[in-house]
Amino acid sequence: MRILVTGSFGNIGVFATRELVARGHLVRCFELRTRATLRTAKRLKAWADRIGGQMEIVWGDLRRPAGLTQAVEGQEAIVHLAGVIPPLSEVKPEWAREINVDGTRNLIKAAVALPKQPRFVFASSVSVFGKAQDQPPPRTADEPVYPSDHYSGHKVACERFLMASGLEWAVLRFGAVPTVALQTLDQPTLRLMFEVPLDTRIELIHPADAGLAVANTVLSNRVWGKVLLIGGGPSCQLYQRVYVGRILDAAGIGRLPERAFGQRPFYTDWMDTTESEHLLSYQRHTADDFIREMAAVMGPKRGLARLFRPFVRNWLLRSSPYLDRRTSPFRRRRPRLA
């Protein structure tokens, strides 16, 4: 099958692309050319060549319809994973909307214009349910949506546009898909970590499992016209306090004071993934697997983190908007005069 994958060098996209190429499909990767995507493209193409896989790369921008017309030509299926996610979607909302909403519309219109219309898989998010922590879990696919920020509003708009397009579609609403390597630790990302209350329910899914779910969706005949919730299942349903604490412990940093975290409701939650697991059979990793893998990837850096723990903790806490620096135990104290 000829399959176009947008965002193919992202967190989920790499695993979805590898899965589809390994099964003998011709995958056309559509990405924005950056230093990071160039590095990933080189590694992924080298891997595909080693196994004799079929993979081609098309560089482009979702905001430019002409390039999308060429990208979708001859494709039997489209997997749309590309997009701007929080916190960047909230820091630059207009720019994010151009990519997330306008770009998705451009891609759908290009698919609709083809003589033989391809199937279309769209990656959405559990965030569309809004801040539902006051409701008993889990969230179900047939619940109404209540977008609560720019990102979730973008996802809802794209879902509705796709469902009205006339294409054969499937919508996958993903839970939290963390990167194993923890590559992004800039201030907006760290601030977002502190924004999530520690009592928040969160359902993880390993990026490899997310990629497997995507690949199995494309190749299934039973998912079209369905909205499916994609998460790691009961073994990956945690509270934010446990999740963040275990990551910090595994990294050698240790747990941070609770007063550094916010109290305003956040939009992650546990989900009912019974139907999606029955149809797609993708849940292979537990939360324990993810924590162990993350610790292994860090390697010697864990020892350095332990060695310089006070300094690392102080650096992390600087991103918290809730911690009173005047009372922080990590603030430099002046010597008291006798």
Q: Does pTM surpass 0.85? A: yes
Mean pLDDT for 27-45 is 96
pLDDT above 60: residue 321 = yes
pLDDT at 301: 83
pLDDT above 70: residue 96 = yes
pLDDT above 70: residue 18 = yes
d(CA 80, CA 68): 12
Tokens representing residue 249 in the block: 């412990």
pLDDT at 128: 98
What is the pLDDT of the chain when averaged over all its residues?
93
* List of residues 6+ apart from 66 with CB closer than 8 A: none
Three-state DSSP at 134 gives: coil
Locate the domains of the chain by residue range. Answer: 2-179+206-239+270-297
pLDDT above 70: residue 218 = yes
Q: Are 289 and 207 in contact (CB under 8 A)?
A: no
d(CA 8, CA 144): 30
What is the chain's percent helix, strand, coil content, to nearest 5? 45, 15, 40
Neighbours of 226 (CB within 10 A): 16
Q: Of the given ranges (144-148, 170-174, 275-279, 298-302), which has the lowest mean pLDDT? A: 298-302
Q: Would residue 305 be called left, alpha or beta, if left means φ above 0 and alpha means ψ between -120 and 50 degrees?
A: alpha
Share of the chain above pLDDT 70, in %: 94
Q: Indicate the pLDDT class of residue 184, thresholds 50, 70 and 90.
A: low
pLDDT above 80: residue 233 = yes
Mean pLDDT for 270-289 is 98
Domain 2-179+206-239+270-297 CATH assignment equals 3.40.50.720: yes
Three-state DSSP at 172 gives: strand
Q: Indicate the pLDDT class of residue 338, thresholds 50, 70 and 90.
A: very low
Mean pLDDT for 140-156 is 97
pLDDT above 80: residue 337 = no
d(CA 193, CA 316): 10
pLDDT above 80: residue 273 = yes
